[in-house]
Chain A
């Protein structure tokens, strides 16, 4: 039986649990009922009362006025959303609002984009009848912040900013002070944006219906001629962005409310750090090194030169003397083309990408245990989980929108287990913080497994039905020496036991991990043990569970999916398998190489050894991002020929023989796959900057130049004609089908997608338990005596990796340098004061940094970010790699600190 309610005496079907407002909007359109305090991503609040309607309950003829935003719909309810009384009420409320609002619409920055203005027009205000009374028109503007601004004389007290800061970002920086008529928005304890604890996410600015809280770009947005929806490149969350443009200029960015990934939210990088795109530093012409100097050249010259040099090297040294490094910042289609270029045109499997330095162990570890190297679940599962385990990740800085979502759940009382050597911001809300010594994830995870087994908390039926290798695994787990492990990781066993019990006893427990798991000597094993934990407790294959890597770059997932790995082609198909090669050859029309190629560190090594002669890098500054900088420099110096596609000059382009100026993501289309396997459309916002080309087109051009016919870069066509034919889990992916919110792979032929993996079976049939005991990193075994501190690297919210983009925005005004965090105890021992410049030494070299004394780290541990290239943090990082996935161990570096010697 349909349940009905009536709007103006006409019957409509109701939905259980909806409000009168959502009911009316569903039937008569979003703008039918005017509102001011309502916002799509906020809870009903009921302050403005403009959404009031008259209702008559069945069996009671008396009309009652209710606010539709927070009154639930009822069967049989008769609603009069625009009766004369309601029209009068709305007009009279707005009239009151206007008694305390500057009547300067024509000169107001928000003119034309002001909800108060729209609503006032809609309700038909002709004049304000009240004599002039007390008002708040003299409040001062706040222009203290590089992005956020406020002008609270225009505030209508709808609380949308306060609620956005609370309900969306969870930062609690904004509130109201005072009472009644004198209520006013405050930042922290009534200070400025710059002085407050604001994290510049801009949720308040987007939420504000007037010009009271705004940002430096929003005024410009009023001149926009168009908006384009695309996907952010600043992390693997994959926030959708709504970009306002005019005359080939990006004006401002908002987060679309209907985005399934970010629901109207994003962070300061996504929202504000876009001005790099037309920065004067952008490369605008190809460059060729002539007589040792880089000189501008035409595209034709550059292509000819490259084609000749590569062909020569290939002829002389064979295809395996050439390597390519693709980019997780680029689109799926570009990555696909890059690997195709290296495999089909050059003829080698020497193709790898920047994921080598981040999530390669995740892909490998999850492939070994589950058969699929990708997040098992979706971020929306946070709503359904009971326990969140966060290992080696600092999502409020690295993945801010996911971080905010985790925070929302945890603030409301969900159990959070943080396993991290640092007191990351989320630990404030966590029930358990296992503050382990860097590099001992395997020890802690094994302890947790030990307690789950010894407490009998395993999910026996899941183990029996879905996994193999458990008996052997169990024996190893129980045979471990807990005393030893406790001493190794430095975490009280009681705490580990409690956390293990919490994880195992939750109805649904979900783990998230980041580079604090992977960038280790035992990175792959760390990932496998996380997978073991999920399997042993049956936390796989349903809502609110799983193993969920937080991908660092926007397309780490997609890059691997597209075959940017030396042993696996597109779709993770083994290049050693002749049937697979046949598949590729059918599509490519040329033979593909069989022998697995070199991983990035191996390429660099091969170059130093003179075996790799030519290298092509698509968008990575390896000098800055690879460990042990001096080794990298030597490798690049040793190359005979080196091509780099880039947005900006970098330390790496200094070594290039040819630099090809690429277009930024605003200037091209394609797809990115986010950390939850969601393939989303990237739409070109503006034309490529004069002189630049999209990376994909560059690769296509060179393929053609080298004799391989490849059609021009067209992502839709490439998806349909090649990628969906090669990559099994992309079978049903078509440009049009992806729609606004994308699809999560595997996508079946009919276009249906997959939110949760492994629901009934694993790709490899049964999940495989693997035991691995803790092993100390060589870095510490060899160097800890002379270098007693452990450096672990991490990221700040305001900058992205080596900062080539974010440093070319106003973000450095918020975070201007990398600092070294050290515990007060270590500072005292070395007589170091807060703010002092110190020398940080490792066996590889030394750098100088400003010291910040902090209890974020434990005694014996120091940490720093690496966003400011001038510091060359990687001068001191080690050459220890994950044994299997070859991911560098950035997270454990033996160091010591001393005061900077003052020359007398």
Chain B
């Protein structure tokens, strides 16, 4: 993270955005040409190395992406469902190996067999009718269906906010004093839904108080956790709720600009949000002096280019600036020095989507839901291992078993563990389900993490060692590479587990534990720091299954013959 690059990129700001330009240059062939990058570097004064360096970072702008035509989802849910080998085989009848890329993940965890083709995502049945997909036949737009339901009050999953209702929300907002509204957010007890559960009030308050006229509010719509698609639900089916939330947050912190950074793997989300922003503009809900007030607010939609790390807020801000999205040290916190060095709040989609409710119903009404420490509701996404995959809204504190049984309808295949809260979330053995309630505290106390509350079922027959290797491989692929523990440790972890499965090699448990501790304590951000959690869960709860792969085991000889 370079102050110089932030400031230089900030000279052009969001109107002529370096990152957006970089992305556009990659669209014709999958990766930008060097001469175009040089021009871009000259225009923005940032040096060709930085533009090139940024381009080589993202999955969909780097040179290796050139010529890719179709992308297979390699997320955890599709992996666990075991659909992707067949999909690949099908695709290879139409595309060469070089033309098939990978994406992680497309948020089609409820249907699997997910792939991306020419700006659209497909899943489930589409695999069987590739010709029609390629021919872009009508009705073959890849649109998916999943269940959406709630238990208790639906504040995120009710009927979509209509333009008229949105306008109403804006009017209510403009009638409010920002200080009072901030107090109400404090009262609500709202905590960040991106995974960390940090009280939303603090960031907003710090940003509001930070000196400076220019501030930004950023919606982190880079829902990269494989297995989760609840933000996708909100972006695509509740766009005005999200945008109204963004505007409310902007009003509270004193930002005239909101940025919504949406992952490239959700092309439909980008389209829908862009349309919703355009609608809001045409309704006069964005721009200068909204509804005759002194409030100016505009929204910039930025399409990401494929990097999980951009879900980390400092990396996300660096990305918008066109820098390499590498995690930055704190302090300074974004609320002091964020986008282009200006005070900035970054909030997750779901967090923001809660704000219209708090605005209209008050913080107390919100706090009345859920538990005292985890207030409100939570969206949970269930993958295809459930009878009723989909997105469910429950009050915080709802027993996990209720979500699984009542909403999810139980499992349709035999499952030995649940991976909850993304790749960095805990691996919950099925026997622990009764101990858990859906709130930050219950998960933390039991040695897991609620995270973004996505749930992937790990099938009984899926080797846990392979799943752990997948987690390390994911981390290695997505590590920004800045901090030593994550850059090196993720690769070494993956190598150790791979070697244990493919050779007569057993991992030294002391070394493995050292590696996990190094990642946990040494990593700069939650990616390297978080990956040991599910691994340790697995070592604890699946010790027997994993023991053949580790030294000192009595069952050294009993590795399955079909180990990957």
Provide the bound-state CA to CA distance between A129 and B492, in Å. Answer: 11
Contacting pair B48 A181 (CB below 8 A): no
The yes or no answer to B2 lying at the interface (CB within 8 A) is yes
A836 smallest CB distance to B (angstroms): 26
A129 touches B511 (CB 8 A): yes
Whether A506 sits at the interface, judged by CB under 8 Å, is no
* CA of A457 to CA of B34, assembled, Å: 48
Q: Distance in Å from the Cβ of A35 to the closest Cβ of chain B? A: 12
**Are B4 and A134 in contact (CB-based, < 8 A)?**
no
Interface string of B465-504 (1 = CB under 8 A from A): 0000000000011111111110111111001100100000
- A167 CA to B482 CA in the complex, in Å? 17
Does B71 sit within 8 A of A, measured CB to CB?
no
Q: Mark A259-286, 1 if CB is under 8 A from B, else 0.
A: 0000000000000000000000000000
Quick check: is A197 within 8 A (CB to CB) of the other chain? yes
Contact B4–A49 (Cβ < 8 Å): no
In the complex, per-residue mask of B1-26: 1 if CB is within 8 Å of any chain A CB, else 0: 01111011011000000000000000
Interface segment among A187-195, A341-349, A673-681: the answer is A187-195
Q: How far is the CB of A23 from chain B (nearest CB, A)?
A: 15
User: Contacts of A88 on B, CB cut-off 8 Å?
Assistant: 514, 517
B371 in the interface (beta carbon within 8 A): no
A99 to B508, CA, bound (A): 16
List the B side residues contacting A176 at CB < 8 Å. Answer: 53, 324, 326, 481
Known: A89-B517, A181-B481. A130 touches B490 (CB 8 A): no
The 8 Å CB contact of A47, one of B34, B478, B483, B495, is B483
Report Cα–Cα, A134/B492, bound state, in Å. Answer: 8
Q: Is the CB of B480 within 8 A of A96?
A: no
Closest to B309 in A: A179
User: What residue in chain A is nearest B525 (Cβ atoms)?
Assistant: A46
- Of the residues A85, A130, A167, A196, contact of B2 by C-beta under 8 Å: A167
Residue of A nearest to B50 (CB): A175
The one of A44, A52, A189, A429 that contacts B52, using a Cβ cutoff of 8 Å: A189
Cross-chain contact B481 with A183 (CB below 8 angstroms): yes
B515 to A, closest residue via Cβ: A92
Contact B492 A99 (CB under 8 A): yes
Say yes or no: is B45 at the interface (Cβ < 8 Å to chain A). yes
Return chain A residues, CB-CB under 8 Å to B481. Answer: 157, 176, 178-183
Interface: A45 (CB within 8 A): yes
CA A482 – CA B257 in complex, angstroms?
A: 42
- A395-424 with Cβ < 8 A to chain B: 408, 411-413
- B57 near A: Cβ within 8 Å? yes
How far does the Cβ of B32 sit from chain A's closest Cβ, in whole Å?
11
A242 to B136, CA, bound (A): 69
- B10 CB, min distance to chain A CBs, angstroms: 8
Chain B positions 52 through 76: 1 when the CB is less than 8 Å from some CB of chain A, otherwise 0 = 1100110000100000000000000
Q: Interface size class for chain B?
A: 35 or more
Note all chain A residues with C-beta closer than 8 A to B5.
166, 172
Number of interchain pairs (Cβ within 8 Å): 174
**Contact flags (1/0) for A131-165 with B, using CB distance below 8 Å?**
10110000000000000000000001101000100
Determine whether the beta carbon of A197 is less than 8 Å from that of B48: yes
Chain A, residue nearest B522 (CB):
A49
Q: Is the CB of B50 within 8 A of A49?
A: no
**Which residues from chain A contact B476 at a C-beta distance below 8 Å?**
180-181
**In the complex, A70→B331 CA distance in Å?**
7
Contact A175 B331 (CB under 8 A): no
| Cβ 8 A contact of A65, one of B10, B50, B56, B522 | B522
List of A residues within 8 angstroms of B329 by Cβ: 44-46, 67, 69-70
Q: Are A130 and B496 in contact (CB under 8 A)?
A: yes
Which residue of the partner chain A has the closest CB to B64? Answer: A178
In the complex, whether A636 has a CB less than 8 A from a CB of chain B is no
Contact yes or no, B485 A93, CB < 8 A: yes
Cβ B48 vs Cβ A189 within 8 A: yes
B524 touches A186 (CB 8 A): no
Pick from B3, B50, B324, B518: contact of A96, CB under 8 Å: B518
Chain A, Cβ-Cβ closest to B475: A180
User: Are B52 and A65 in contact (CB-based, < 8 A)?
Assistant: no
A57 → chain B closest CB, angstroms: 16
B50, A130: Cβ atoms closer than 8 Å: no
**Does chain B have a CB within 8 A of A48?**
yes
In the complex, are the beta carbons of B508 and A177 less than 8 A apart? no
**Once the chains bind, are A49 and B52 in contact (CB under 8 Å)?**
no
**Chain B residue contacts of A129, Cβ below 8 A:** 508, 511
For B479, the chain A residues whose CB sits under 8 A away are 179-181
What is the minimal beta-carbon distance from B488 to any residue of chain A, in angstroms? 4
Contacts of B2 in A (CB 8 A): 163, 166-167
Residues of A with C-beta under 8 A to B346: none
Q: In the complex, A65 Cα to B520 Cα: how many Å? A: 9
Q: Which chain A residues lie closer than 8 Å to B521 at the CB level?
A: 52, 65, 85, 89
Taking the closest CB of chain B, its distance from the CB of A152, in whole angstroms, is 14
Q: Tell yes or no: B38 within 8 A of A by CB.
A: yes
Alpha-carbon distance A429/B495, docked complex (angstroms):
47
Tell me the interface secondary structure of chain A in the complex: loop
B4 x A166 contact (CB < 8 A)? yes
Contacts of A475 in B (CB 8 A): none
A97 to B492, CA, bound (A): 11
Tell me the smallest distance from the CB of B323 to a CB of chain A, in Å. 9
Cβ 8 A contact of A133, one of B10, B480, B492: B492
Interface flag for B123 (CB, 8 Å): no
Give the interface centre of A46, A156, A180 by most chain B CB atoms within 10 Å. A180
Q: Contact partner of B482 among A47, A96, A173, A188, CB < 8 A?
A: A47
Asked whether B522 lies within 8 Å of A134 as measured between CB atoms, the reply is no
A412:B3 contact, CB within 8 angstroms: yes
Query: Known contacts A49-B523, A88-B517, A176-B53; is A197 also within 8 Å of B47 by CB?
Result: yes
Q: Is the CB of B484 within 8 A of A428?
A: no
Cβ of A99 and Cβ of B488 under 8 Å apart?
Answer: yes
Q: Judge whether A860 is part of the interface by a CB distance below 8 angstroms.
A: no
Return chain A residues, CB-CB under 8 Å to B444: none
What is the bound-complex CA distance between A72 and B333, given in angstroms? 12
CA distance A735 to B472 in the complex (A): 62
Q: Is the CB of A174 closer than 8 A to any CB of chain B? A: yes
Q: Nearest CB to that of A54 among chain B residues?
A: B521
CB distance from B133 to the nearest CB of A (A): 30
Question: In the complex, which residues of chain B have a beta carbon less than 8 angstroms from the beta carbon of A178?
Answer: 56-57, 62, 481
Return chain B residues, CB-CB under 8 Å to A174: 49
Chain A residues within an 8 Å CB radius of B345: none
Report Cα–Cα, A183/B62, bound state, in Å: 13
CB atoms of A131 and B495 under 8 A apart: yes
A159-B482 in contact (CB<8A): yes
Tell whether A181 pairs with B491 under 8 Å between CB atoms, given A93-B485, A175-B47, A189-B34: yes
Q: Knowing A47-B483, A183-B481, say if A172 contacts B4 (CB, 8 Å).
A: yes
Q: Is A468 an interface residue (CB 8 A)?
A: no
Does B318 make an interface contact (CB < 8 A)? Answer: no
**Shortest CB–CB separation between residue A503 and chain B, in angstroms?**
20
Bound CA–CA A598/B34 (angstroms): 59
Q: Does the CB pair A49–B53 fall under 8 Å?
A: no
Interface centre among B330, B482, B505 (most CB of A within 10 A): B482
Question: In the complex the two chains form, is B52's CB within 8 Å of A190's CB?
Answer: yes
Nearest chain A CB to B356 CB, angstrom units: 36
Partner of B324, one of A93, A175, A408: A175
Some 21 contacts from A to B, beta carbons below 8 A apart, are A44-B329, A46-B482, A47-B482, A49-B522, A67-B524, A70-B331, A92-B514, A93-B522, A129-B508, A130-B495, A131-B496, A175-B324, A177-B49, A179-B57, A179-B480, A180-B480, A181-B481, A189-B34, A196-B49, A412-B7, A428-B45
State the 7 A-B residue pairs at the shortest beta-carbon distance, nearest first. A172-B47, A175-B53, A175-B49, A183-B481, A70-B329, A46-B329, A180-B479
A36-B484, A89-B521 given; name 9 further pairs at CB < 8 Å.
A46-B524, A96-B488, A96-B515, A163-B2, A172-B4, A181-B490, A183-B481, A188-B47, A188-B52
Interface residues of A (CB under 8 A from B): 36, 43-50, 52, 65, 67, 69-70, 72, 85, 88-89, 92-93, 96-97, 99-100, 129-131, 133-134, 156-157, 159, 163, 166-167, 170-183, 186-190, 196-197, 408, 411-413, 428-429
